Amino acid sequence: MPLHVSQHPLVAHKLAILRDKTTEPKKFRELVRELTWLLGYEAMADLTTRPVQIETPLEPMTAASMEPRVGLIPILRAGLGMVDAMLELLPTSEVWHIGLYRDERTLKPVEYYNKLPDAATVQVCLVLDPMLATGGSAAATIDILKAWGAARVKQVSLIAAPEGVRTLGDAHPDVDVHVAALDSHLNERGYIVPGLGDAGDRQFGTFAGPGSEPGHGPDDETAEVVRRLQRDLER
């Protein structure tokens, strides 16, 4: 599975502000949008084009038009903040939503919303999710898209953990992953460290207080799932 970690200095700069715990939700949303734009630009560098005939104010010429139809699949809810930036780059993209939540005890994804049409209407799907943590939600989403008929899938995330990269790579070695940073590890609650906390809560201002802060109060079953992922990574 090709993993692409952006080396762009603008990405590094904006990610540093995004991580800062003092960054308020409005600024956080703006940074998610800006980072998505930059990562999306890099993620689509290998898409094919076809020749088209146009006329400039001076003369006719052969230009290039992007060939594949692209679908955007934001993972609810945190992925919603990445959609507008991608639509600026690809205004003709189709947007389809898949809702998954992570069971806090098992860390496994549970599907609760899926409005894909009966058959694939695009050739390339970009899965949008700010955090690639355990990799379970990403792998489950791509399972759904491949069963739907998607010919090619890419994952675009802001931050990834090695455990999530390993899980996704084992399940879907053909999927390109584009991220702004590859962080150190998951903590016992399955949050990326150093990370930035819960991307959905920070975008939408739903932080519930110190008791819900990432890293507080893991139960034994959740901690065991994370340890298993980390043992798999070390093999």
Per the annotation, the verdict on 220 as an active-site residue is no
Among candidate residues 134, 201, 202, 222, the one labeled active-site is 201
Structure tokens belonging to residue 229: 């992922």
Structure tokens belonging to residue 187: 């903590």
Among candidate residues 29, 69, 102, 152, the one labeled active-site is 102
H helical segments located in the chain: 9-19, 25-43, 83-89, 136-148, 162-171, 199-204, 220-234
Per the annotation, the verdict on 102 as an active-site residue is yes
Per the annotation, the verdict on 170 as an active-site residue is no
Among candidate residues 69, 77, 106, 121, the one labeled active-site is 106
Structure tokens belonging to residue 89: 């780059």
Closest CA relative to residue 200, chosen from 8, 28, 48, 21: 28
Contacts (Cβ under 8 Å, ≥6 apart) of 34: 14, 85
Contacts (Cβ under 8 Å, ≥6 apart) of 57: none
Q: Residue 55 corresponds to which amino acid? A: E
∠ Cα 96 99 105 (to 5°): 160
d(CA 221, CA 30): 36
Per the annotation, the verdict on 106 as an active-site residue is yes
Give the active site residues.
102, 106, 198, 201
